[in-house]
Amino acid sequence: MSDAQKRTAGEAAAERVEPGMVVGLGTGSTAAWFVKALAARGLKDLRCVPTSEATAELARELGLPLSTLEDTPRIDLTVDGADEIGPGLALIKGGGAALLREKLVWEASSRCIVIADKGKVVETLGAFPLPIEVIAFGHKTTANRIADVLADHEIAMPARVRTAERGLIRTDGGNLIYDARCGAIHDPSRLADDLKLITGVVEHGLFLDLADEAIIGTDQGVEVLAP
Ligand SMILES: O=C[C@H](O)[C@H](O)[C@H](O)COP(=O)(O)O
C-alpha cells in the first residue's frame, strides 16, 4: 500500500473533471486524494455527490459544493477507490463500509473511474475479504444463509461480522457488515447474484461491469486500464 501512489492516481483523476459537471465523490484514503485535488482545481459550477458522511465532511471542509443523489440523480463522473481490481475491472469495494451508497452513486453515473495504488490490481478477486452489508434485524440468520451460499461457491469460511473497539460497526445506513474470506472468487457474477437473493443482504462489495476505466498510481506515474 503506497500513499504516494494513491495520491498520484487521485490527482490524475481530478484532471478528468470539467467545469459544470456533477461529480460522484468516492470514499476511502485514495478517494480522499481525489477530493483534495479536485478542490484545489477550483473548477466552476461543480456539484458533488458524496458516497459517505466521511467524504461529505471532507468535501465540505474543502469548500466543494455538495449535492445529494435525490437532488442530482444523474451524475456525470464518479471517481472512487477499490480494495481489489481484477480482470475486466471487476472490483471488491467496501473496506470502509461505504459500499451501498457507493454502488448507488456509481450506478447513477455516466462514467466511473476507479483509482488505486498498484498493489490493488490482482489476477483473481478474493484475497481481500468481501464485504456484505446486512440488515441488523435477524443478522445471525442472514449470516447462516450467507454461509450456505459461500459453501456453494466452495468457500468454507463463514463470513464474520465486522467489529471495532466499541462493538459492531454500523454503516452510514445503520446496517452491519459481514466480511467473507473467500480466498479466491472463481465466478464473481454468480456469487454476486446469489448473495443478492438473500433476504437481509442489502448489498455486497462486488462491483461488476461498473468501472469504465482504472487509473493506477505507480512510482513512475499512472497506468490506465480499460475493462
Ligand atoms: O467502503 C469503502 C470503499 O469501497 C473504499 O473505496 C475502498 O475500501 C478503498 O479504500 P482505500 O482507498 O482507503 O484503500
Task: Tell me the ipTM for this assembly.
Answer: 0.99
Q: What is the domain partition of the chain in residue ranges?
A: 3-121+208-225, 130-204
- 31 Cβ inside 6 Å of ligand 1: yes
The per-residue pLDDT for 181 is 97
Position 1 pLDDT exceeds 80 = no
- Ligand 1 pocket test: pick from 51, 83, 170 the residue with the most ligand atoms within 8 Å of its Cβ: 83
- 31, 22, 62, 35: CA torsion to nearest 10: 20
CATH number assigned to the domain with residue range 3-121+208-225, chosen from the 4 options 3.40.50.300, 3.30.70.141, 3.40.50.2020, 3.40.50.1360: 3.40.50.1360
Which residue is closest in CA terms to ligand 1's atom 3?
A: 94
Q: CA-to-CA distance for 15 and 37, rounded, in angstroms? A: 9
- Return the SS3 of 113: strand
Q: CA-to-CA distance for 176 and 138, rounded, in angstroms? A: 11
Q: Helix, strand, coil % (nearest 5) of the chain?
A: 30, 25, 40
Q: CA-to-CA distance for 80 and 108, rounded, in angstroms? A: 14
102 has catalytic annotation: yes
Task: Walk across the sheet containing 75-80 and list its strands.
Answer: 47-50, 22-25, 75-80, 109-117, 213-218, 221-225
- 83 Cβ inside 6 Å of ligand 1: yes
Asked whether this chain's domains 3-121+208-225 and 130-204 adopt the same fold, the reply is no
The per-residue pLDDT for 2 is 85
Position 197 pLDDT exceeds 90 = yes
Task: Walk across the sheet containing 84-85 and list its strands.
Answer: 84-85, 91-92, 206-207
- Could you read off the pLDDT of 156-187 as tens digits, one per residue? 988 999 999 989 999 999 999 999 999 999 99
Does the pTM of the predicted model rise above 0.95? yes
Q: Give the cell for residue 70.
A: 435525490
For residue 68, say whether it is annotated as part of any ligand binding site: no
Domain 130-204, second-level architecture: 2-Layer Sandwich (3.30)
- 24 Cβ inside 6 Å of ligand 1: no
- 84 Cβ inside 6 Å of ligand 1: no
